[in-house]
Structure 1
Amino acid sequence: MSAENSAARAGTGTATSTATSTDARAAAAVLPPLHCLRRLTPGPPRLGTLPTGTPVWLVTRHADVRQVLTDPRLGRAPLYAPDAPPVSVVPNLLDDPQSMLNIDGTEHQRLRRTVQRAFTPRAIARWRPWVASVVEGLLDELIDQGSPADIVAAYTRPLPVAVISRLMGLDGLDGKRLAHWSDHALSTTAYSATAIRTALGEFAAFGAELIAERRAAPGDDLVSGLLAAAAESGDITEAQLVSLVIGLVVAGHETTMTTLGNALVYLLGDGREDWQRLASDEQSAATATEQLLRAVPLGDKNHLPGLLRRAVEDVEVGGVVIPAGSVVAADADAANQDPEVFTGDLRTELFAPLGAPMFTFGAGPHHCLGAWLARMELELALHRLARRLPSLRPAAPAEAIEWRHGLLTRSPHTLQVAW
C-alpha cells in the first residue's frame, strides 16, 4: 500500500509529544479499535480546514472521490507549487516535491514505469510460494513459543518486513532501525519536527548507501532493477532514486503490518464468529481481505481528511464548482462506506464480493503500486493463521490494547493472544 494512502486514511498534525511517554501510553489505552470509528456521511463537497489553517474541500461520495483521483485537473504536484498553501504542520515522508507521489503527468508515468514491473499481479504471483513459506515459518515459531504471546512481535510485524527485505535484497536489515525511521517518517504528534528531520536524513543516507552498493554489485532485487531502468531512461535524478527506495521500504511493510494488526483486532473480537471460515480456503480469505481493506481504516483521520489534490483550474465535482488553486481531500474511507454503493457491514458482508471498486489503494495515476503484494500477504497471513490456530483469541479486552499512535497510521503496538 502506498504511503499516500496510509497517510490519507490517518493524518498529519503537530509534533508536540513523544510516542513512548507515560501520558501517551495512557491516552492510547482508551482509543477505540479502528473498525469502530465513525465516518463522515457521504454528501456533496463541503469546505473544511486543515491543521495548517488551509481551507480544504472534503469529497466523500464514491463517484466524487473517483473523479478527484482520476481527473488530470486535480493533481499532486500543484500542492507543492510556489503559490501553494501549507498542507502539513510537521515534515513527513510525503512532502518531498521530487518523489513519485508528488509528480504528475508524463514525468510521473516515466518514474512509475521504473518500478511497476515488479508489482504486476503476474510478478506478485511468483512470490506467493515463498511468502507462504515465510508465513508458515513464523507460525511455527509462534506456536513453539507457546500461549499466550504477542502476535504483533511474532507475526504482524516480521511478516511484511521479511517480504520487503527479500524483494529489495535487504537481508540482515535492522528491524529496530527500520521501525525508528518509519515511525518518524510517518509521525504526526509522536515526535518533534527536529527529530523527524534527523531521522529522515538518516533514512535518506541509508537509501543513498544502498544505491551505491547495488551499482557496485547488482543483484536480482528491486533496487538493482530500479537502477537498471534508471540508467536506460537516463533522466531520473539521484534524489528521485533515493526517494523511490526509501518510499518503497516504508510502504512495503508499514501499511501491511498496520492492516493485518487492525484486521486481527476485529476478527478476534467483534468478528469472532467468522474466524473458522477464514481457515476453510484461500478464496474465502481473499474475499474477506477485500472487505477488511474496504471497511477498516488505517488511522484516526484526526488531521488529514483524505487523499490530497489541488485544482489547476475550476472543476465541478458532485454539482459543486471547486475554484482553481483549491486544495481537495478525497475521503476514501467515507467513499468505501457510501450507502449508495455498498450495503451491509463487516458482520454481514465479510465473505461477499465487493459490489464496486474500493479506494483503499487510491485510483487513477497514483493508484498504489504495491496493492497486489499487500493483498497477497494479507490473504495468506489470515488464512494460514486461522487454519493453524482455530482457537486463537484475545488474551485481554480491547480496552487494554496498547496502540501505536501519533503517526499517520494506528495499529496495536502489542496484541496479546492465546490459544
Structure 2
Amino acid sequence: MSCPADVHVRPGPPLPPLHRLDFEPPGPPRPVALPDGTEAWLVSRYADVRMVLTDSRFGRAGLHAPDSPSLSGESGLVSSLDLIFNQDGEDHLRLRRTMRRAFTPRAVARWRPWIAKIVEQCLDELVDRARPADLVACFTLPLPVAVISRLMGLDAEAQERLRHWSQYAFSDGSHPEEEMAAALTEFAAFGAELLAGRRRTPGDDLPSALVRTADEEGGIPEGQLVDFVCGLVVGGHDSTMTMLSNSLLYLLGERPEVWPRLGADEAAAGALADRLLHLIPLGDDRGTARYASTDTEVGGVTIPAGSVVLADSGAANRDPEVFPPRPLDDLFAPLAAPTLAFGAGAHYCLGAWLARLELQLALHRLAARLPGLRLAQPAEEVEWHLGTTSRSPRRIAVTW
C-alpha cells in the first residue's frame, strides 16, 4: 500500500517493470516541462530527493492553491484538496495521528497470521483453476483486496464495488467527466456511510479506530475523514496489486533462478521483497510533486519560490553514489541505504510495513506451493494497464 500522490511528466512505454529505458544518471536539479507545458524542476540524486521530501519548504498543499501551476496529470481522488496526501503542516499531522498507531511495525506484525491465511486461501483457489491461469485475476488482485477488506471491515458486496471505484479514484483521465464525477460522488457517499455506521456500532477495524481517534483529536473536517477512508480503501489494494504483479512478471520472466530460494527461505523472501520495492517503480512517472514555498538551494541549485518540484525517487534509488551500480546482480542483498520508494519525511507512506509484509508472504508462499510456476506467454506480449499513478500487467498467463 502506497501513497498515490505522483504526477506523470511523461507516461513512458509499457515495458517490463525493471526496464524503464528512460532512466537517466542522477544529476543536479534541472528544469523540465510537464505535458501541458507547465515548467517544473526535476530532482534526481538521492540526497537531493530526500531533502525535497523531508524539508517543510517543499509541500503538497501549495500545488492546489488558486494561483498554483496546473497539474494536468492529477485527476480523480488524487486531486482532492481534502486528501491527506495534499495536506501540509498541522492539518496533515492531525490526520496522520488518527492512523499512525494502527500501522506501526509492531501492529502490522500482529496481522501476520491472518494475512498468511488469506494468502493460502488465494493459493487454494489458484491451484484449482484450469491452466493456463491468470495470475492477476486469481492471485495478485484478490489477495490485497481481501487484506484491505478485512482491515476495513468490508463485506463481499463492498469488495466488488471498490474494484469499480478504483478505476476512477486513480483515473488516467480517459473517463468522461460526468462519469468520473458520478463515480466519485458515489464513492464518497460510501465512505461517509461507512464512517457513520462505525460511529453507531464500533468494531475491531480501521474505520472504527479512525472515527474514535478523530473524535478524540477534534477539529478534523468530515470531508477529510471521508477522503482519508476512501484513500485507504483503494490505495490499500491497488498499489499492492501493482507491486506484486510487476514483481512476479519480472521474476518469472527474467529471474527464474531465484524461485527455489524464494520458496525455501521466508527471510530471504523478505530481503528480496525489500529490493523489488526499492527498484521497481509503481508507474512511469517522473516524480512526486512538491511546491517550493521559498527560494531554496538544492544540490547547489537555487529553486525559486512558487516552483513545482518533481522528486524522482526511482532515479534516486539507483543513484550510483549511494547504491551499487549493478543493483540486480544480487536480489537478496540488503539495501545500502533506506529506500525512497515509500517517500520520506512527513508524507512517508503509512502502509509501508503492510506492503512489505504482503509482498514477502505472497512471494514466499507462492514459490513454496508452486515450485514449477512459469509464464505461459512471452513477457513482451503482456498487455499493460496504464493509470495515473501506476502501471501493471492486465493479465499474466502462468502454468505449473
TM-score interval for Structure 1 and Structure 2 normalised by the shorter chain = over 0.9
Alignment partner, residue 25 of structure 1 = none
Percent identical pairs in the alignment equals: 56
The alignment partner of 1:308 has SS state of strand
Instruction: From the superposition, tell whether residues 307 and 31 of structure 1 become closer, same or farther in structure 2 (CA, over 3 Å).
Output: closer
Paired position in structure 2 for 1:238: 222
CA distance 1:406–1:113, change in 2 (3 Å): closer
Q: Which residue of 2 aligns with 1:412?
A: 393
Partner of 1:20: none
What do residues 136-166 of structure 1 show as CA deviations (whole Å, max 9, x unaligned)?
Answer: 1111111122432111111100110001100
Of 361-370 and 183-192, more deviation after overlay is shown by: 183-192
Q: What's the secondary structure of 2:197's corresponding residue?
A: helix
What's 1:378 paired with? Answer: 359
Asked if 1:394 corresponds to 2:379, the answer is no
Q: 1:204, 1:242 within 8 Å by CA — same for their partners in 2? A: yes
Displacement after TM superposition at 1:111 (Å)? 1.1
Residue in 1 that maps onto 2:243: 259
1:202 alignment partner, one of 186, 190, 193:
186
After TM superposition, the score normalised by the length of structure 1 is: 0.91
5+ long unaligned stretches in structure 1: 15-27
Are 1:164 and 2:148 matched, yes or no? yes
Residue 30 of structure 2 corresponds to: 46
Task: Give the distance between the partners of 1:89 and 1:347, measured in 2 at CA.
Answer: 31
Please give the secondary structure, in 1, of the residue aligned with 2:264.
coil
Give the C-alpha shift of residue 107 in structure 1: 2.2
Alignment correspondent of 1:187: 171
Which residue pairs with 2:198 in the alignment?
214
Tell me whether 73-82 or 187-196 shows the greater mean CA deviation: 187-196
Distance of 1:407 and 1:239 partners within structure 2: 23
Which letter maps to 1:227? V
Query: 1:82 Cα shift?
Result: 2.5
Deviation at 1:89, TM superposition (A): 5.0
Contact 2:9 2:287 in 1 (8 A): no
2:49 matches 1:68? no
Structure 2 letter corresponding to 1:404: H
Call closer, same or farther: CA 1:190–1:348 in 2, change over 3 Å.
same
Counterparts of 1:411 and 1:57, CA distance in 2: 27
The residue aligned with 1:350 is 331
Give the 3-state SS of the residue equivalent to 1:390 in structure 2. Answer: coil
The aligned residue for residue 100 of structure 1 is 84
1:135, 1:344 → 2: CA distance? 35
CA RMSD, Structure 1 to Structure 2 (Å): 1.8
Match of 1:280 in 2: 264
Contact kept, 8 Å, 1:312 with 1:325, in 2: the verdict is yes
Structure 1 residues 407 and 310 mapped into 2: Cα distance closer, same or farther (>3 Å)?
closer
CA distance in 1, matches of 2:166, 2:159: 10
Count of aligned pairs? 399
With over 3 angstroms needed to count, the CA separation of the structure-2 counterparts of 1:33 and 1:343, relative to structure 1, is same
Give the equivalent residue in structure 2 for 1:4: 4
What is the deviation of 1:407? Answer: 3.8
- The alpha-carbon deviation at position 245 of structure 1 amounts to 0.5
Conserved? CA contact 2:383–2:393, under 8 Å: yes
- Choose which of 292, 296, 310 in structure 1 pairs with 2:276: 292
**Amino acid in the other structure paired with 1:115:** M
The letter for the 2-side match of 1:386 is: A
Q: Is the 8 Å Cα contact of residues 74 and 388 (structure 2) preserved in structure 1?
A: no
C-alpha contact (below 8 Å) 1:3/1:250 kept by paired residues: no
Which letter maps to 2:67?
D
**396-405 or 377-386, which deviates more:** 396-405
* Range that drifts further, 37-46 or 327-336: 37-46
5+ residue gaps, structure 2, are none
The whole-number CA distance in structure 1 between the counterparts of 2:320 and 2:186 is 45
- Inter-CA distance 345–183: structure 2 relative to 1 (3 Å threshold): farther
Q: What is aligned with 2:15?
A: 32
TM-score (norm 2): 0.96
Contact 1:332 1:362 (C-alpha < 8 Å) held by counterparts: yes
**Counterpart residue number, 2:322:** 341
Work out whether 1:320 is the aligned partner of 2:301: yes
Report the residue type matching 2:318 in the other structure.
Q
Q: Would you say the 8 A contact 2:242–2:391 is kept in 1?
A: yes
Instruction: Tell me the residue number matched to 2:101.
Output: 117
Query: Helix, strand or coil: the match of 1:298?
Result: coil
Contact 2:9–2:33 (CA<8 Å) still a contact in 1?
A: no
SS at match of 1:381: helix
Q: Is the 8 A contact 1:13 1:90 kept in 2?
A: no
How far apart in 1 are the matches of 2:387 and 2:364?
A: 31
Pick from 134, 158, 167 the counterpart of residue 150 of structure 1: 134
Q: CA deviation at 1:382?
A: 0.1
Conserved 8 A contact 1:181-1:199: yes
Matched ranges for 1:74-85 at <5 A = 74-85=58-69
Q: Which stretch of the first structure deviates more once superposed, 198-207 or 262-271?
A: 198-207
Which shows bigger deviation, 81-90 or 109-118? Answer: 81-90
Deviation at 1:47, TM superposition (A): 0.4
Divergent runs of 4+, >6 A = none
* CA displacement, residues 216-269 of structure 1 (integer Å, 9 cap, x when unaligned): 211111001111111111211110110110000011100000000000010001
